[in-house]
A and B are shown apart, each in its own frame.
Chain A
Amino acid sequence: MSEFQIKKTPKDYDVCIVGSGAGGGMAAYILANAGIKVVLLEAGPLYDPAKNVTQMKWPWESPRRGASTMYRNFGDFDAAYGGWELEGEPYTRKDGTKFDWFRSRMLGGRTNHWGRISLRFGPKDFKRKNIDGLGDNWPIGYEDVAPYYDKIDQLIGIFGSKENLPNDPDSIFLPPPKPRLHELFIKEAGTALNIPVIPSRLSILTKPINKDRGACFFCAQCNRGCTVHADFSSSSVLVNPALKTGNVDVIPNAMVREVNTNSAGKATGVSFVNKDDKQEYTVNAKVVVLAASACESARLLLNSKSTQFPNGLANSSGVVGKYLHDSTGADMGGILPKLVGRKRYNEDGVGGMHVYTPWWLENKKLDFPRGYHIEYGGGMGMPGYGYGFGMQGTNGKYPGRDGKQKEAGGYGASLKDDYRYFYGASFGMSGRGESIAMEDNYCEIDPNTVDKYGIPVLRFHYKWTDHEVKQAKHMKETFAEIIDTMGGVVTYGKDGPENNYGLAAPGRIIHEVGTTRMGDDPKKSVVNKFNQAHEVKNLFVVDGGPFVSQADKNPTWTILALSMRASEYIIGELKKQNI
């Protein structure tokens, strides 16, 4: 007998979901609540911020004072396990590509530490080709998604303000927190420049919405996960309630190898390796839902080759992996001299900005298509590793407490006082914009490389175009204008054409989407308008993969809305016995 065996999971399910982030969590929640038997596979361990606690901890409770490690790229207190590189799970790049891929292997995926910025796409965002002739339109419009945005607002909770903006639709909002001091200065500057600065839109509960989740107690640490579940993460808000229905089995540490199919060309379930016992398993289900993240789901499809699907599953079009696109990003920040020596008080607030700037300009008057929003940071945050670095670049530029200009750098009591004096006077801003989805930006299977489970890995090919570079240039000009108007002094982010105006490498903003795009034409798209594979009717993709374009909005709220919509469609199709 062979030493190598593939074990079959004893139970058969209605639906097998791969991945427990925003898309997978939402599918599990909707399907389980409809009485459907679900198996949810997650490549990482179980996680609950109420048990795996880093919230309300002090910097000295980490020996590295919160610095990042290979296991937590966003810092020792951050909720996300994983990061840009995972041990034994490489990815590769070709043709000089600089693409970075952030992966979080844990229940809830990347929703455990994300910024909670929860923006609806607007009517124009679904039909951009009609406006500028670039890229493609979505096969659906805002009116198709709006009812689901409404349901998600109420199910999950989001704060913000009613603004009636044409392409930044209002959610059903909880009240927002008041701006912090530096945010008032930003707002003042924005108003003078005709740049809107409005309350941010974050999925954090400023008021309780049900008995299961507490309200925010303003510790500014959403990225650490919330012990009272006052912010949205898929693990706390979707998967755990789904488990309570009794209709969901979660298999953690299950790294899915491929989607299995039968001779009729239907998906029958998936094969996976269990990271704990290192054994190979299969699990059978009537429907397979991929939600492993845009690139990971594309990888799964491309690795699911058979005689029937020699090009990878659901990939006769050859589109799987193509049209990969991330948000653009560029940053600038500085010091606000009027804030030095400021009075101390608890300024934590919610985990993130209290104000932001939605896209406000007309592209007709600009030399680039699409727009960006601006995120703001600053204030008297909790010091962590890196606090105080580079004082020699600050204390020689501004007069100290005694009004005298001193020599940069230094040591001793006078230096010690400089750290107090400048504390809380710095701020920063980041542009997050829409790039054009390009067929030639893609991930594919690297023909030469496998990961430690023997699964062929992804290879990335990605080039920014002039559109994105010009957008970054515009961001920098805007930031400099705002900072100047505030009376601030730039300390970082002065970039020029030599480095594409500081335009972040693709992948760095962690909004990568588009690899299994949605469309009406099976020759040009992977899934239909219900996230259902054109070629395999019982196969769905509900992560960021189906995005045709990503807007200048963070993708999570739309992933959630589309996953909810697809899940309701699955319920209907199962009832009608169509799948």
Chain B
Amino acid sequence: MDRRKYLKTLAVGSLGATALLQGCETPKQEVAKTPAFTIDRTPDELAREQKLLSETFFDEHEMKTIRMLVDIIIPKDDVSGSASEAKVPEFIEFIVKDMPRHQTPMRGGLKWLDIQCMKRFNADFASCSSSQQIEMVDEIAFPEKAKPEMKQGVAFFNLMRDLTATGFFTSEIGIKDLGYAGNKPNQWDGVPQDVLDQYGLKYDERALAESVKFDS
């Protein structure tokens, strides 16, 4: 098999084939139930996943606040959708169950935020107006200029920013936004010429002679 066909086969083999088959059969019969996991899971892992997925950590009010915060941190723009559209709140709900060390900082941080807002605006964060929310966020979103009495809020917001960003940029929407171009069978033949030119670089003759070459 030539290399092009080989790569094509790999591409179809890993994703395409099942999609094609399902595509043909869908009209006739019910689509087979999607498995919960498309990645290798050992029996121990599966048991733990099922346990985690059956539990709920955040209450409704907490989730509402998280939803608002993640969209303040990563809003929709002309490139891609918002954090909540990328299901970041659901990711955060899962990750605190998976990593219990995040539970107290998150729950306590949300409470801290509500108390601050009650003191300032006589309303919890979620019930504040958008301008009040932004006024509050401005106090805790900039670690180097935040007032000393806002430090706990800064720590909470740093965690929120981290989890929001990681949740967003590991989602389908986020990976597309970032422009990550890999995770597909290909032939690595070096840095593209226009990029080499941009940085004034070139492969030396030895590298060109020795490195792996591809037939077309």
CB-defined contacts of A410 to chain B, threshold 8 Å:
141-142
CB-defined contacts of A217 to chain B, threshold 8 Å:
6-7, 10, 185-187
B40 touching A344, Cβ below 8 Å = no
**In the complex, residue of chain A having the shortest beta-carbon distance to the beta carbon of B201:** A184
B203 touching A178, Cβ below 8 Å = yes
B75 touching A412, Cβ below 8 Å = yes
Task: Tell me the complex Cα distance, A272–B7, Å.
Answer: 44
Q: Does A181 contact B (CB under 8 A)?
A: yes
From residue B13, how far is it (CB to closest CB) to chain A in Å?
A: 8
CB-defined contacts of A69 to chain B, threshold 8 Å:
45, 48, 98
CB-defined contacts of B135 to chain A, threshold 8 Å:
none
CB-defined contacts of B98 to chain A, threshold 8 Å:
63-64, 67, 69
B75 touching A57, Cβ below 8 Å = no
Given contacts A65-B170, A382-B180, contact A408 B143 (CB under 8 A): yes
A-side binding surface: helix, strand, loop or mixed?
loop
Interface residues of B in 74-126 (CB under 8 A from A): 74-75, 77, 79, 91, 94-95, 98-99
CB-defined contacts of A219 to chain B, threshold 8 Å:
182-185
A409 touching B144, Cβ below 8 Å = yes
Q: Does B55 contact A (CB under 8 A)?
A: no
Given contacts A57-B38, A175-B213, A178-B191, contact A409 B141 (CB under 8 A): yes
Task: Tell me the complex Cα distance, A417–B39, Å.
Answer: 31
Task: Tell me the complex Cα distance, A384–B171, Å.
Answer: 9
**In the complex, residue of chain B having the shortest beta-carbon distance to the beta carbon of A173:** B210
A60 touching B171, Cβ below 8 Å = yes
A64 touching B94, Cβ below 8 Å = yes
Task: Tell me the complex Cα distance, A215–B10, Å.
Answer: 11
Task: Tell me the complex Cα distance, A269–B77, Å.
Answer: 67
Q: Does A399 contact B (CB under 8 A)?
A: no
CB-defined contacts of B172 to chain A, threshold 8 Å:
58, 60
B91 touching A177, Cβ below 8 Å = no
CB-defined contacts of A419 to chain B, threshold 8 Å:
165, 169, 178
Task: Tell me the complex Cα distance, A409–B71, Å.
Answer: 16
Q: Does A496 contact B (CB under 8 A)?
A: no
Interface residues of B in 174-214 (CB under 8 A from A): 174-175, 177-192, 194-195, 198-199, 201, 203, 207, 210-213
Q: Does B162 contact A (CB under 8 A)?
A: yes
From residue B169, how far is it (CB to closest CB) to chain A in Å?
A: 5
Q: Does B65 contact A (CB under 8 A)?
A: no
Q: Does A413 contact B (CB under 8 A)?
A: yes
A346 touching B45, Cβ below 8 Å = no
Q: Does B137 contact A (CB under 8 A)?
A: yes
Q: Does B73 contact A (CB under 8 A)?
A: yes
CB-defined contacts of A373 to chain B, threshold 8 Å:
none
Interface residues on B, range: 35 or more
A345 touching B195, Cβ below 8 Å = yes
B175 touching A383, Cβ below 8 Å = yes
CB-defined contacts of A54 to chain B, threshold 8 Å:
39-40
Q: Does A525 contact B (CB under 8 A)?
A: no
A411 touching B137, Cβ below 8 Å = yes
8 Å CB contact of B188 from A62, A342, A350, A384: A350
CB-defined contacts of A491 to chain B, threshold 8 Å:
none
CB-defined contacts of B144 to chain A, threshold 8 Å:
396, 407-409
Interface residues on A, range: 35 or more
Given contacts A69-B98, A71-B44, contact A383 B181 (CB under 8 A): no
Given contacts A63-B98, A64-B94, contact A412 B73 (CB under 8 A): yes
8 Å CB contact of A411 from B49, B141, B198: B141
Task: Tell me the complex Cα distance, A62–B48, Å.
Answer: 13
From residue A369, how far is it (CB to closest CB) to chain B in Å?
A: 33
CB-defined contacts of A218 to chain B, threshold 8 Å:
185-188
B74 touching A416, Cβ below 8 Å = yes
Given contacts A219-B185, A396-B144, contact A177 B199 (CB under 8 A): no
A176 touching B210, Cβ below 8 Å = yes
A380 touching B181, Cβ below 8 Å = yes
**In the complex, residue of chain A having the shortest beta-carbon distance to the beta carbon of B209:** A175
CB-defined contacts of A71 to chain B, threshold 8 Å:
42, 44-45, 48
A45 touching B42, Cβ below 8 Å = yes
Given contacts A408-B143, A409-B158, A416-B77, contact A65 B167 (CB under 8 A): yes
Interface residues of A in 295-347 (CB under 8 A from B): 338, 342-347
8 Å CB contact of A348 from B79, B182, B195, B212: B182
From residue B37, how far is it (CB to closest CB) to chain A in Å?
A: 8
Task: Tell me the complex Cα distance, A66–B169, Å.
Answer: 13
Fill in one digit per residue for A540-565: 1 if any B CB lies within 8 Å of its CB, else 0.
Answer: 00000000000000000000000000
Q: Does A193 contact B (CB under 8 A)?
A: no
Q: Does A98 contact B (CB under 8 A)?
A: no
Task: Tell me the complex Cα distance, A342–B178, Å.
Answer: 11
Task: Tell me the complex Cα distance, A282–B177, Å.
Answer: 58
Task: Tell me the complex Cα distance, A56–B15, Å.
Answer: 9
Residues of A within 8 A of B (CB): 45, 52-67, 69, 71-72, 76-77, 81, 159, 161, 174-181, 184, 188, 199, 206-207, 214-215, 217-220, 227-228, 338, 342-350, 380-392, 396, 407-413, 415-417, 419-420, 423
| A-B contacts, 21 listed (Cβ < 8 Å) | A56-B184, A59-B171, A61-B37, A71-B44, A174-B212, A178-B191, A179-B190, A179-B207, A184-B203, A215-B3, A217-B185, A218-B186, A345-B181, A381-B180, A389-B162, A410-B141, A413-B77, A416-B75, A419-B169, A423-B179, A423-B180
Could you list 8 further interchain pairs (A-B, Cβ under 8 angstroms) beyond the known A65-B167, A412-B72?
A: A58-B172, A206-B212, A218-B187, A338-B199, A345-B192, A346-B182, A383-B180, A409-B161
Q: Shortest 3 CB-CB distances between A and B: which pairs? A: A388-B165, A178-B190, A344-B179
